[in-house]
Structure 1
Amino acid sequence: MRLSGFMLPSPIVSTGSILALWFTTDFAVSAQGFKAVYEVLPSHTCGTPGLIPNGVIHGSQYNMGDKIRYSCESGFVLEGHSILTCIVSPGSGAQWDFPSPFCRADGACGGTLRGTAGSITSPGYPAEYDNNLDCTWSILAEPGDTIALIFND
């Protein structure tokens, strides 16, 4: 999903236990940027672990005992576990044994966020952001959980 401009989007809910947010600016325009909050939404099914930007998923079966493998496109580095297995977790039902990994470019601003809630702001917020930025944030939840991202400004 690509977002731009000054309109606030509707809340975004991930399809898996990772949500990645990229912030890219151009060479000419600077503005205030954004602020968003997130909240982990529990679930009790394996389901699709989700595609990852700049990554490839190998495997299409998501039942108990099935394994999938992630890799990254050239120029990107995998962070997290490359192989996930759908397991039974006592009291939780079926879930992936690890959060989906993500692919990041070396030297990019952003980072990895863990925990049940938090906030993300563009560099310099509420002041103007710099030109030619390329930032990646990854929010990691427990296997089987999803993440809601809500832009406030």
Structure 2
Amino acid sequence: MIRLIAALALVLASFASVAAIDTYEFDSEEQRARFYYLSTELRCPKCQNQNIADSNAPIANDLRREIYRMLQEDRSNEEIVDFMVARYGEFVRYRPALTAETAILWFAPAAFLLVGLLALVFMLRRRQKAFKSAGDDHLSPDEQQRLQSLLEKKDRND
């Protein structure tokens, strides 16, 4: 009985995985390659961190169908991407175009890295100067005598 239930569950699970697969008929292998390229370059508006090729959201399915339709109309990749950007905004692209609005996305990581490296160099130089200037000459004679007596006590106890 348990084997029958397990087999039934396995069959039902396999139907669910088959239902999520989109099948499109392409005129050429180039069209197929363009379809997969575009669907990996465009972000799912709902999922936000998945491309439309990997997403199972209904809107991603609609976008894949729209790309397929535009490819059948012999539109170029640029036209398809421009259509998607006009409809969903620059967010739909994984690699936004370099414009005044997106310049911070492109250059902020490098700027933060540079600032961090400069801060690290500054801190290391300051610490190096502190180590060079530190030493016994900063202790008063009373402090030096106390330090010496503590060290002698430690040696006697060992």
Q: TM-score range by the shorter chain?
A: under 0.3
In terms of Rg, which structure is larger? Answer: 2
Give the TM-score taking structure 1 as reference length: 0.22
Flag the structure with higher helix content.
2
Give the TM-score taking structure 2 as reference length: 0.22
Flag the structure with higher strand content.
1
